[in-house]
Structure 1
């Protein structure tokens, strides 16, 4: 009997030692999806082993660069949240072209629902004559070309935002030229409205906004349809993309193959571009307004697996799957005015690398 008791005691002791040796879960390791409203779980930078001594320099840079809102999430939990000037968590700001990535997600939802096919020609939804091209050339343009910025339409006609047929002129055959051209992208809104039978705002709210607790309204500004929302709502969309279209127990973006294509090289001309989404870590990239191929990745200081929604005047939504991060920056131009990518991307990630370990 004593032998049996001794053996049991030994086994229990070994079990305790095994438990003590097991790694302790980091705060925030579990997936977190914030509920509707302002309640949001937070964790400290110290709990993640980040370098808090580098935070003042990061905040100084953000303030110098006219930032209004800045957030970093780890697995959905807020780690850093800072607002500048009179801007608050309840203030809304424009996404500019960062809204392109959300539009691409809505196209994927519509395709899964059978309301459209990205391989279909655009004229099936906008009718013939939506451009000034000969019919044969116009019929070569598909929704996929709109998603990948390869319509071949001339982006240098004087107003790259103009969606009138007179402004949409032939430059190259569809699929043979990459150019960051707002007009063909903007017309995806009308494609979605024709395909779904509802307004673009309504479709956004039904399919994404209401399902993830996201505020925001698309507002017509000139030819463009621009999303205005709080910084936290931009972060919610980042969480959705980080977790591959899932939100708690529901799948908001149901087409996994489409979503994977959205954050993968969509064509060989500019491998740093997916479906209206910028990609880091590729061997070359192109930039808006330039017909030049640059060597190296888009943001050298950032993780290679980063993908991003980027808008004019440095509206930033970065998603980094390897680090479980979502980073949001809203504000005025950081100084180097660009339509999407700017020198501030690399400068900001240089500062973030001093903080994030």
Structure 2
């Protein structure tokens, strides 16, 4: 009996060692993700804690977290087995931010100034409901079936689609939402936010206030081999800088999103491991570095905060959109953009019309070609902060299609040859959701 007792103790110690080595470091990631997601989903989209835990936070090990919401203090907290507590506070205009003990919650803060213009026009150029339009060349039965098939049938929970919106020739021809969601629901775009960040450089470029082909304006790089990296390289994700992006473990990306005070410095501090424009590698750190570069183009923090909305977001009527900030006041341009499905579609429409929004040129038409041209080393899958279908990733979709993509299958597809914008929001990505089938069905419903 004594022998078995010793074996049991040995196995328990072995288990503790294994847990400490493999799992304990992840607890901070789990609680950080959970606290942030709970705070954002609750205070931005009014979802209950029960709903968030059963849907938004029910994947992999994120469900291990125990969460609490403080309504009066406007914050959420999460722990895992009572360990690694993280707190995320909500501030009107800035969204939810993970904070540590050094963050001053009493100190005042600046918020972006928003402008909502009313013009009595129907969607997408105004605040009124879209006008009913029937196209003779659209097979609506086939279209509606393709959209319906994108959602789970009763008692299923596999596709986990939350919304699908199809716009043809600026008119909504199909729109569907899962139970609990509607046209007013705020949905997190995750990395679709990268396309917002990239677009702002297109606007500055068209205004002749910035030259993306010059070396990136980063003083810390001027005395080493990073001095030749251009903003163009950063926009194409081929700067050659070291970076590790994987969300199933502790890595550069997760440390940045769930532990960093200033996310604009995460990629800035990395060494160059390849020459610029020779090695493509997807990096959320690069986009937050670009957000930091944008900030330095303005004399004040207030101007930086306002620019994202006045130059683009509110300019094209994405009035629901909210871009969240980090502890240092930078927009988390890699990941934290929230908007309704209809407002996400407006970014796609802006590109479909080559930067022209109801007669006003937001950025030069050449910028649309720039972002949709394959970058070196991407095998036709990536342009400049947009994903491409030039390499045939979706074989049954047009090759000129390109898109804003985000974690868990957030997509805004832009198909110039078909005059189409298709939005799908949900909780499953390419590994579990058949985007090719959905695209084939929607595109195939338009007969001419």
The verdict on a shared fold, with TM-score over 0.5 as the criterion, is yes
CA gap 1:335/1:307 in 2 versus in 1, 3 angstroms:
closer
Q: 1:314 aligns with which of 409, 422, 427?
A: 409
Q: Name the counterpart of 1:145.
A: 233
Provide the C-alpha distance between the structure 2 equivalents of 1:174 and 1:150, rounded to a whole number of angstroms: 6
Matched, 1:127 2:225: no
Contact 2:400–2:417 (Cα < 8 Å) also in 1: yes
Question: How many matched pairs?
Answer: 299
Contact 1:154–1:169 (Cα < 8 Å) also in 2: yes
Q: Name the counterpart of 2:349.
A: 239
Matched, 1:37 2:127: yes
Provide the C-alpha distance between the structure 1 equivalents of 2:368 and 2:142, rounded to a whole number of angstroms: 38
Q: Name the counterpart of 1:275.
A: 384
Higher relative contact order (CA 8 A, sep 6+): 1
Deviation string 1:3-62 (CA, Å, 9 cap, x unpaired) is xxxxxxxxxxxxxxxxxxxxxxxxxxxxx9623324223324x63331505634541332
Q: Name the counterpart of 2:242.
A: 154
Matched, 1:323 2:323: no
Unaligned runs of at least 5 residues, structure 1: 1-31, 283-296, 338-342
Deviation string 1:189-238 (CA, Å, 9 cap, x unpaired) is 11112114455542121111222211201113689431111111111111
Matched, 1:263 2:357: no
Contact 1:149–1:178 (Cα < 8 Å) also in 2: yes
SS at match of 2:220: coil
Q: Name the counterpart of 2:318.
A: 214
Provide the C-alpha distance between the structure 2 equivalents of 1:71 and 1:165, rounded to a whole number of angstroms: 35
Provide the C-alpha distance between the structure 2 equivalents of 1:349 and 1:177, rounded to a whole number of angstroms: 30
Contact 2:205–2:212 (Cα < 8 Å) also in 1: yes
Q: 2:169 aligns with which of 65, 75, 90?
A: 75
Deviation string 1:150-180 (CA, Å, 9 cap, x unpaired) is 0111223821363436862332122111001
* RMSD of aligned residue pairs (Cα, Å): 2.6
Provide the C-alpha distance between the structure 2 equivalents of 1:269 and 1:249, rounded to a whole number of angstroms: 34
Q: Name the counterpart of 1:61.
A: 150
Q: Name the counterpart of 2:275.
A: 173
Deviation string 1:242-273 (CA, Å, 9 cap, x unpaired) is 111111121111x2223321111233554332
Contact 2:160–2:428 (Cα < 8 Å) also in 1: yes
Provide the C-alpha distance between the structure 2 equivalents of 1:354 and 1:165, rounded to a whole number of angstroms: 42
Deviation string 1:131-166 (CA, Å, 9 cap, x unpaired) is xxx932120211111100001112238213634368
Q: Name the counterpart of 2:397.
A: 302
Q: Name the counterpart of 1:205.
A: 309
Which piece of structure 1 moves more, 257-266 or 154-163? 154-163
SS at match of 1:89: coil
Contact 1:36–1:212 (Cα < 8 Å) also in 2: no
Provide the C-alpha distance between the structure 2 equivalents of 1:159 and 1:352, rounded to a whole number of angstroms: 38
CA gap 1:167/1:66 in 2 versus in 1, 3 angstroms:
farther
Q: Name the counterpart of 2:293.
A: 191
Q: Name the counterpart of 1:333.
A: 428
Provide the C-alpha distance between the structure 2 equivalents of 1:352 and 1:243, rounded to a whole number of angstroms: 20
CA gap 1:196/1:56 in 2 versus in 1, 3 angstroms:
same
SS at match of 1:117: coil
Contact 2:354–2:367 (Cα < 8 Å) also in 1: no
Aligned pairs (5 A) from 1:21-36:
34-36=124-126
Unaligned runs of at least 5 residues, structure 2: 1-121, 153-157, 246-250, 257-264
